[in-house]
Chain A
């Protein structure tokens, strides 16, 4: 059993990286709402890979930075049966898969001449109308109220209570 070194393999490092990027976003914005919106969008591209996902939707607010137990548990669950040498582990860590956004950053597409089509230039861009429809995050219907803490929408007192009780700030790490 690999009881030791729960921080030394690539699964943990993948997780750490993800949390780190979330923290960068958090620091860049002093605003919970922006933070919540970013985290939420990021979550839409997650796989439930068991280890590297910081699941922002767990019902108990556990998916935070300090849940070492959980990291350990997940790692324990997902590790292979092979015993690995320290060296092999180091090698593995170096080859750990990187996210697309990291690869994109490394590609330094900004340095290409302006006429070269790139991933960035193909992005559709912002909508011409800024009108955004708001749906209640609790029941899905048209929502006219905004939670002052997290920016999420709700439609009624009833839904506000559900929101406050169970999901407010859930997307904030």
Chain B
């Protein structure tokens, strides 16, 4: 591929940017979409990219101490609100990480559903005026996820029926989006205003209330959430189990905060102990004995002693629980099972059975263990008996959208789908900006036939 036709695929999430090149299986980089300022610094800094399995070797050049760091994000509630900040971050991404020349590249950019015209306008300015990309294609996440999944299983139901229900629970919000023939049926999309960011903040709140003040520890509590939280398949039962004391409490686990001296990252104190819940409280005491024997040998045991660690029990499942019952938080919104039913019901009745049978989970907040199991348990009773309910989690829920974008970017029709800089300028100059929105907008984006996959 010559450099003039290079397509940069950019899934610009509120939490993480996934970026790389069209045609590749994985993004070249995963970068937190923020700047941070450590306590000791006066300047806002770019966070290090997150190591992907394929790039884990050497890229963790310098350890960053994220303890009590302040955070600034260009995206609020899923949408770009600070183009200046986004420009800084993209500039760093394009120059220092991807090392590309935008004027010789096309850009495939994800844009959240229902992006306001003013925000689309800011994005186009960034792409064409600040960075000078040669052309742009804007896509929405659900259609890319659908595209990727159909390409993985060309003979599956998804491909035959050409439709799926994409449940994307990300950083900023959670969407249930029906996709039909590569179109996201935006009139049927339903959104819950809860995502990973709110869950992390909720976990911060609980820990700060109960043990130690971690209100300033976004990065650390993200780590706690990712490593220790899970979805309960039976909340009442698990709440009772979580009342037990000592070793009988299978949910109890400890997390060690960074001390800034021996370790700059927090960690789960006894990972074996922390994953006991996976056995679901069955009374295999033998295992517990074994774990307690192992503990003194663990080097990390030496670390604690001060108030540098905290215990978690029911917080581990009460936090992801909110996606299923936002009302428990005081939000006047239905939970995920009802959200799915409402999205399906907004579609043509012919599509209902296939949609329930083609539910795809994606997004970082679906990574909690037992997420799909719980969803199915609550969704099944809401769906007519003669319909099947089938829920599949994407192989890599963080990367599914990007992979779909990469696939689309490598299709032979891609160039023809893009809006070029010249076209953009013409539209901008002729004051037909409204038309421009339509041309670059989401609706037309995925109307292209994808038989080649």
Contacts and interface: CB of A to CB of B under 8 A. Distances in A.
A40 B338 CA distance: 24
Contact of A140 (B84, B189, B314, B329): B314
Nearest to B68: A48
Interface in B79-107: 79, 81-82, 84-85
Contacts of A140: 206, 210, 239, 242, 313-315, 318
B334 interface: yes
Interface in B322-368: 325-335, 338-339, 342
Contact of B334 (A47, A99, A125, A133): A125
B293 interface: no
A132 interface: yes
Contacts of A121: 187
B190 interface: yes
A109 B338 CA distance: 25
Contacts of A55: 215
A10 B43 CA distance: 17
Contacts, number: 151
A109 to B, nearest CB: 8
Interface string B196-223: 0110011011101110010110100000
Interface residues of A, number: 55
Interface in B288-344: 313-315, 318, 325-335, 338-339, 342
B201 A45 contact: yes
B338 A124 contact: yes
A5 interface: no
Interface in A7-28: none
Nearest to B218: A48
B388 interface: no
A14 B218 CA distance: 20
Contact of A118 (B43, B114, B201, B205): B114
A77 B216 CA distance: 15
Given A48-B218, A58-B215, A142-B239, A78 B37 contact: yes
Contacts of A142: 239
A80 B242 CA distance: 47
Contact of B43 (A51, A81, A104, A134): A81
Nearest to B215: A57
Contacts of A45: 76-77, 197-198, 201
B117 A137 contact: no
B117 A50 contact: no
A41 B201 CA distance: 10
A134 B328 contact: yes
A72 to B, nearest CB: 16
A23 to B, nearest CB: 20
A119 B70 contact: no
A16 B243 CA distance: 43
Most buried by A among B114, B191, B331: B114
A132 B326 CA distance: 9
A113 interface: no
Contacts of B318: 135, 140
A41 B331 contact: yes
Given A59-B213, A140-B318, 10 more contacts: A43-B201, A55-B215, A57-B215, A99-B81, A107-B117, A127-B334, A127-B338, A132-B330, A138-B210, A141-B239
10 contacts: A44-B198, A44-B201, A48-B70, A100-B79, A115-B187, A117-B187, A121-B187, A127-B326, A135-B318, A142-B239
Interface of B: 34, 37, 42-43, 70-73, 76-79, 81-82, 84-85, 113-114, 116-119, 175-176, 186-187, 189-194, 197-198, 201-202, 204-206, 208-210, 213, 215-216, 218, 235, 239, 242-243, 313-315, 318, 325-335, 338-339, 342
